[in-house]
Amino acid sequence: MTINPILTIIIYSWINRQGTEEWRCRAVLVATAERDKRMEYLSQIFNLKGKVAALTGAGGLLVGEMSRGLARAGVKIALLDNNLETIGCLREEIVQNGGEALALKVDVTQKTDFTTALHAILTAYGDVDILINGAGANAPTPFFDIPVEEWNAILAVQLTGTMLGCQVFGEYMVAKNKGSIINISSASAGPPLSKAFTYSVAKAGVKNLSQNLAREWATQGVRVNTIRPGFFPSEFMKKKFLTTERINAILTHTPMKRFGEASELAGAVLWLSSDAASFVTGAEITVDGGFTAMTI
């Protein structure tokens, strides 16, 4: 019998193609399995779904965006702020996007407000896992012109407010032997920036307080860290602080040559909130485009 060479080539090509397809399918299955393992691992250490976070200063630009980031990760959000209208709108936004949130009016200078808020959160969600202290106040008043009332008011919001939040929520977390507290520091915490005297003193205090509490609660399951944002201009900053000259000075000193976007703080917040940061306490996490890494 004569063998048709063309038919032979066709048959061999078909066999080889079938073999190639089989191995290709196997390779795809292996790659998919490896990808799933990696995703499962990331999900295990970064998983925040079902956790509960309370955030002071949630009506502001930065903490508002932190709230959105946590909500997207499946965290139940308690928005704490003195401006109930602003956080009410943010709550609606989070809920409309499939998240869970409640808005609570809190004056961070009043311990009773924190106690009331904690009770409301426990009633609604049954637990609190994460606290972010981000309520803020600032003023560009020249040093010789700072009235004592302004000095005390800024310290009360920035420093005393952080202390009271840590005191009330920290006591609850220590009792259950688990929790993550993130306090918001600043590029002005040291060395200080110009035009923000009282603010700088307060933020230096926030950093020191956080390190103190990190040491105190390290064996009690509660981690305390700070995030040190660089320049993320709010409307208030633009009006009160950012002259053309100051903008040029900031960007010249920032290797990335730009301001930060509030959403760029979310990664640090999610990490510090999760078990991926289980051995991280007393740390100051800088998110500033390289500002503090540069002299001249």
Catalytic residues: 199
Copy the structure tokens of residue 281: 């306490």
Three-state secondary structure call for residue 156? helix
Short-list 258, 292, 77, CA closest to 189: 292
CA atoms within 13 A on the CB side of 58: 32
Taking the alpha carbons of 264, 266, 269, 271 in that order, is the dihedral positive or negative? Answer: negative
Copy the structure tokens of residue 107: 């004056």
Rounded (to 5) percent helix, strand, coil in the chain: 60, 15, 30
Nearest-angstrom CA–CA distance, 290 and 292: 6
Nearest-angstrom CA–CA distance, 63 and 69: 10
